Structures are given as structure tokens and as C-alpha cells.
Amino acid sequence: MNAGTPRRPRGNPAKRELVELAADSRPNHPLEPPDLVHVTSVGWGRRIVATSRIETRRCPVFERDLIYIFMARPAYRFRDGDAKSAQISRFPFVFVISPQALGDPFHVYPFDTGAYVADVYGTTIDPTLYLDDYELTPSIEATLQHITWAFGSKTAYFEGALRVDLADSLPFWRSVGRGWIDIANLAATGRDRPDARASAIEIAYARSIDLRQGHVRLLVFPQQFIEDARGQNADFLAELGKLGLAYKTYDWRPNETPDSFTDEITRIVRRHFDDTGQL
Amino acid sequence: MSIDDAAPEELALIGYEKLAAHGFALPCFARTPGANTVYVARPSRPGDSTAPIEGFDIYEPEEIQSLPPEKRIDRARVGDPWVDVFLWGDDVFAGTKPQIWSSIAGIRNDIAANAPLSLLNLAEGVPGVATGDLARAAFAWLERRQSTDAASEWRISVYFRGIAIRTLRRLLKTAAYTSRIRRALQSVELVQNDTTLSLRLPAPIPETLHTTATDFGGLIRAAQEFGFHLIIVDDESATPATTVQASHWSKKLSRSDAQRKSTGNQRGSITLVQAGYPIDGQTYFRRDFFKAAKWVGEITRTSEVRETAVISFKVNFLGKDLGALPLSVTYAPNREANQTNYTSLLHLGPLAPHVGATDVTGKWLRLDRRTDGSYALSILDRAAP
């Protein structure tokens, strides 16, 4: 972890309390993992398509080369992550990715760790806890257990709606669980400005994702890219065709706001999940 | 706080950040060319090309492109019209949308052939331009380049829905940016069924807005260009009506209502007005009495935004049972602006021969809404109790 993140003293192991809490959660019927969502800027999006790979990039928080993806939610990682947030929020480009053949993640956290480190969650963070206290078991199955325990269903998770009885179900000494609920409530839809990152499950992979291997289910990008003004998008469109990638477009306008793009992309991704029966 | 930290009221348009090699770019502003701090403008109504600049926000560009000195706009103030940067080939066009539209006059055909979606976006901000033609051209272009399915998807999900969302934001004003409404706006859907386009408004939009299709003149026009009629479906009317309240309304028929005007053409309809009831006669029939009917929006030949519902009435004409007759009710709020003091008309249609044969001037019209949602119409000699 980088210098800005409080370091855990030696001999003081991480609590992993969220793993314990979720371990007993067994859905009535096994959950299929929903697709993962990687949001980047259009500049990076085009480069990814051109090279057919989502490459790992140096993460200043964990000091590793990683790819950051959120489970199901089209949230984008905060600026201490892998790209400038201004570009991502103004010019979003989305990859919807199947987790089926990606192997085990490097780590899984129940929120955006970039936002955590950048102090976006502010006073909701319990100062007696360390970042890795919140870590989940690095597996897709563990994320589903966390969803079942904390949200009750994948739909509720997508909408950021925690189980109403969740806080009451925890004894007061479950400090990590309670601390996480405080953070996750920042994503609750009843808030004035819900921050989807606060309870979006962050999955980091330590390997690149090859677009030629069928992992990518859908791309979402501005409709300007499907126009071929004098062939300038021809290579991009040809590459999409070659890779067999499905895509949807949104209407990018310079007088729109980042919130508007977020809402529109959330709608398109939600529709993808509805159409494919994933939520 | 130093003076430089204050939110600027006036800046110069000095550059842009590219989205793509053509079309709209993100306009970038600064106090002077080369200044360290770059801003983007904030619209008063996001996405609405008629909305002015509300303010400026600091922005960290990745690869800002400088505008050539002759293309810079030295003064862009809060409250001014929105200014854009539009790219085509090696050219950069800066200004308001009407200014850019005028500047690209010589290359519009080239843009239309290669980037019809960008051209349509530009035209939507230019008063007097027939966007319907451009929208149809964009649809045909997508159909040729991709598929009919892809073109239809664009038409419904991007073009029509975009107009609907921008209209809703304008009508909802600041409420559009609350968490609840933002979530609801994500669920706004347009569903095509043959030639009917249904705009589905989820809760809590209907109860926040009390909107009707006539509020969506732009969408009705756009839909009509493709041969669709627009109806509004809100969550309340989509669910079975379990609590329809019985209601009635009546009025004494005038010479005009009886189609006995001494001059001019007969209207062919009866005005539905307040008639002494404690109601808002301008909205009551559309939003209450006939709310549950299927209202279809259209633009008339006289450019009037109008909704029509065809309603089955059980008709009694001066004691004679005529059975169930389909009669049209129209609602056009701009009739009020024309100082006609009514917005709703009951069109005589199949009742016209009876009204033609018998002068009903001074008789009474009574409309009943029953608890099962059905309607009855009576022409009576005297006011009903």
C-alpha cells in the first residue's frame, strides 16, 4: 500500500469480519454471477479496442499492476485509481465483461478503494480500522455471498439498496461490519447524491483481459464513434467487427453533465442485465 | 480566497477537448489563452440546446486543443447562450449552434453523408431547421450501414428517448436532479406497438408533474415524422383502476354547441368548460374526468399540439337510447392561449345527424363517469338533479 494509506502495525492481523459475516449467507438458489463493468475514458476505450486488450496499469494504492472492475455497477474508479476521473466522467466508455473465464481476482473489496484512500467517504470511515479489514475473499463466489448477506439480491445490489434489517442484525462489537454499512449507506438511493462507488464491489485482476477471448459482452460508447467521418472511425469499427463485440451507443453532448452520462449508462447496463436475465 | 479563486462570471473560449475527430467537442474556457486554469461551462438545463450558460467549473484537460486566434470567443458570460466547438475535417467551428449551422452551409451535404447523427444534434439547436428530415436521413443511414434493428433501436432509445428526457427535465425543473427523479428518469421508456409510441413514465414522475402528451410537442412532432402517434402511460393508469370515483358534469348547450351559429362554419363539437362547477375547466377533462382514457398526441395541420381520446359513451338523446357510440374528445392547451377559454372539445361524430335533425339549443348535456370506468352521455330537456 502506498505512503498515504495508514499502515497496519506488525502483529495486528486484518479482521476480515465481512468474510465471516457473509460466510453463512447461502442464497435459496445458487446465484449466477452478473457481468462485471469496467468504465474508462473514450481515449483509453479506443486504445483498448485497438490493442484488443484491457491492460493492467500501475495502481498507486496497492503498488501493483492491476485492472479495476466493479461487479455489475457502472461506477467508475476514483482518480487515485487508474485514470483521470474528469476524463472518465466527461467521456465515459464502458466494457461489460463476463467473469466466467477470468480466473480468481487479485483482490475483492466491498467499495471503491481509490475513493476510500482519497478520503471521499470522509467521516464515515472508522479511524480505528485499516483498509484491508474490509477485504473480501478474492473469489467471485465470495462476492455473491457478500451480495446475499448485505443486499439480499443482485437487483438490490445493483440499486445500492442494503437489507433494511442489516444494521440491526449486527452486534455492536462487529466494528468492521458496522463501519462498512456506514460507508455503503453513501450509495443508498434515498440520499441527495448517492455515490454508487461506496458499495460497489471492486474486483481487481492482476492480469490483462484479452478481448479476443470472448470475455466482453457489451461496449457502451458515444454515438459519434459509429459515424465514419472520412474513415476516421473505420479502424475502430472494423476492429469491433473483427472481435465480434456487441455495442450500444449513447448521445454524447457537450452541454450534458457527468451525472447525465452516469444515468444514461446505468440505464443501458441495467437493460443489458434485464435482457440477459442476470438480475 | 484570492480573486482568482472566485467562480468566474466571464471567460474566453480558448480551446476544446476532443471526443472524436469530428462533431462536437468539449468547449474549454480560461481567463486568457495559455492560462493554467481551464474551465468547462455548466448548462442551466443539461442537454437542452436552448439553455444558457449557468456557470463555469474547473476542468483538468487531458489533451486540450487550442483554438486558432481567429476562432476564439473572447467573452462568454454566465447567462449567455451556450457556445460549442464543432469539428469537421481540418476545420474547427466555434459559436452558438445557429452560428455554426450557418458556418457549415457549404459542407452540410458532406456532413450529412458521413455524420448524420452529429448533424442532427447540431440542427436540434437551430430554430427553424426541419429536424424531421434530418432524423429520417439519420435513420436511413443507420439502416444502410448497420441494420433496420440497429436503426430502430437508435430511433427509440437514443433519438425519441433523448427528446423525452430533455422535455421531462425542462418540465420538472430542479426536481429533475433529485435522487428519486433521476432514478425514475432512468426507467422512462418508449415502447413501439405498430404505429403507436407509448411513453411510459414511472413513479414518482406522474405525481410530480401531472403531465399530458401536449407537454411533449417536440416528441409528438418527431414521432409523427416517422408515422407514429404518441401516448403517455404513467404507472397509475397502467395499473387496473380500482378506485374510479363516480362523477358527472353538465352544461346548458349554446347555439354554437347546437351547431346553430348564424355565421361562419359550425364547429362540429361541444366545448367542455367549467360551467359553474368548482373545477379548473382548462385541465379537468384531460387530467381528471377522462384521465384514464387512451390519449393520443398529435400535431394538427395548423401546428396545434393536441391529444385525442376516443371514448365509448352510452348515449341517451332526448329520451331515446342510442346505445354505445364512440365519440372523440380533444385536448389542446394552446386553445386557451388563443383566448378561446376552453381547451377540451367533445366532437359530435356519430351524434352529428341527431344534433342536425333536432335543435338542441338551450337543452342540457350531461356526462357521467361511473365507478366501473364507463361513460354515459345524455341530452336532456332540462337540467338533471
pLDDT tens-digit series, residues A33-72:
999 999 999 999 999 999 999 999 998 888 899 999 999 9
Beta-bridged to residue B30, according to DSSP, are: B12
Model confidence at B300, pLDDT cuts 50, 70, 90, reads confident
Using a CB-CB distance cutoff of 8 angstroms, which residues of chain A are in contact with residue B19?
42, 91, 222, 224, 252
Three-class secondary structure of residue B359 per DSSP:
coil
- Residues contacting residue A17 through CB under 8 Å, at least 6 positions apart: A133, A174, A175, A176, A177
Q: Is pLDDT of B72 > 90?
A: yes
- Tell me the nearest-neighbour CA distance from A105 into chain B, angstroms: 30
Residue pair A42/A92 in contact by the 8 Å Cβ criterion: yes
pLDDT given for residue B246 in this prediction: 83
- Tell me the nearest-neighbour CA distance from A18 into chain B, angstroms: 28
Model confidence at B298, pLDDT cuts 50, 70, 90, reads confident
pLDDT given for residue B268 in this prediction: 93
Smallest Cβ–Cβ distance between B121 and the set A189, A253, A267 belongs to A253
Residue B293 φ then ψ, to 5°: -70, 165
Distance CA(A200)–CA(B320), nearest Å, equals: 68
Smallest Cβ–Cβ distance between A232 and the set B22, B40, B186 belongs to B22
Distance CA(A152)–CA(A141), nearest Å, equals: 15
Q: Quick one: closest CA in A to B41, which residue?
A: A255
> Scanning the structure block, which residue is given the C-alpha cell 362523477?
B247
- Residues contacting residue A122 through CB under 8 Å, at least 6 positions apart: none
Using a CB-CB distance cutoff of 8 angstroms, which residues of chain A are in contact with residue B151?
none
Q: Measuring CA to CA, which residue among B114, B91, B89 is closest to residue B103?
A: B91
Tell me what the mean pLDDT of segment B191-211 comes to.
Answer: 90
Model pLDDT for residues B100-121, shown as the tens digit of each residue? 999 999 999 999 999 999 999 9
Using a CB-CB distance cutoff of 8 angstroms, which residues of chain B are in contact with residue A223?
117, 154, 158
Distance CA(B277)–CA(B281), nearest Å, equals: 8
Q: How many CA atoms lie within 13 A of B72 on its CB side?
A: 19
Model pLDDT for residues B350-359, shown as the tens digit of each residue? 999 999 999 9
Distance CA(B85)–CA(B73), nearest Å, equals: 11
User: How confident is the prediction for chain B on average, in pLDDT?
Assistant: 91
- Tell me the nearest-neighbour CA distance from B49 into chain A, angstroms: 7
Q: SS in 3 state form for A124-153?
A: HCCCCCCHHHHCECCCHHHHHHHHHHHCCC
pLDDT given for residue A265 in this prediction: 96
CA distances from B74 to B11, B33, B60, B69, B95 (A): 7, 10, 21, 10, 11
Q: Quick one: closest CA in A to B49, which residue?
A: A255
Distance CA(B29)–CA(B39), nearest Å, equals: 5
Q: SS in 3 state form for B226-269?
A: CCCEEEEEEHHHHCCCCCCCCEEEEEECCCCCCCCCCCCCCCCE
Q: Measuring CA to CA, which residue among B167, B168, B170, B195 is closest to residue B184?
A: B168
pLDDT given for residue A145 in this prediction: 93
Tell me what the mean pLDDT of segment B40-47 comes to.
Answer: 92
Contact A257 B49 (CB under 8 A): no
Using a CB-CB distance cutoff of 8 angstroms, which residues of chain A are in contact with residue B178?
192
- Tell me the nearest-neighbour CA distance from B193 into chain A, angstroms: 19
A235: enclosing H helix or E strand? helix A234-243
Among residues of chain B, what percentage have pLDDT more than 90? 75
User: CB-based contact (8 Å) between B232 and chain A?
Assistant: no
pLDDT given for residue B336 in this prediction: 66
Q: Quick one: closest CA in A to B146, which residue?
A: A226
Q: Quick one: closest CA in B to A263, which residue?
A: B186
**Residue B181 in grid coordinates:** 427523479
Using a CB-CB distance cutoff of 8 angstroms, which residues of chain B are in contact with residue A230?
22, 89, 114
User: CB-based contact (8 Å) between B147 and chain A?
Assistant: no
CA distances from A233 to A41, B20, B77 (A): 17, 9, 35
Global confidence as pTM: 0.87
Smallest Cβ–Cβ distance between B27 and the set A84, A254, A256 belongs to A254
For residue A184, the Cα-to-chain-centroid distance in whole angstroms is: 14
Give, in degrees to the nearest 5, the angle at Cα A115 between A112 and A121: 105
User: CB-based contact (8 Å) between B109 and chain A?
Assistant: no
**What amino acid is encoded at B131 in this protein?**
T
pLDDT given for residue B149 in this prediction: 95
Q: Quick one: closest CA in A to B175, which residue?
A: A192
ipTM: 0.89
Q: Quick one: closest CA in B to A187, which residue?
A: B179
pLDDT given for residue B385 in this prediction: 66
Distance CA(A276)–CA(B244), nearest Å, equals: 38
- Residues contacting residue A130 through CB under 8 Å, at least 6 positions apart: A6, A7, A8, A14
Model pLDDT for residues B316-358, shown as the tens digit of each residue? 999 999 999 999 999 998 876 666 689 999 999 999 999 999 9
Q: Quick one: closest CA in B to A86, which residue?
A: B60
pLDDT given for residue A83 in this prediction: 45
Q: Which of A73, A236, A253 to mutate to test the interface with B (most CBs of B within 10 A)?
A: A253
Using a CB-CB distance cutoff of 8 angstroms, which residues of chain B are in contact with residue A42?
19-20
- Tell me the nearest-neighbour CA distance from A270 into chain B, angstroms: 9
Residue pair B16/B93 in contact by the 8 Å Cβ criterion: no
Distance CA(B269)–CA(B102), nearest Å, equals: 45
Residues lower than pLDDT 50 in chain A: 3, 80-83
Q: Which of residues 169-208 of B touch A (CB under 8 A)?
A: 177-180, 182-183, 185-187
Model confidence at B237, pLDDT cuts 50, 70, 90, reads low
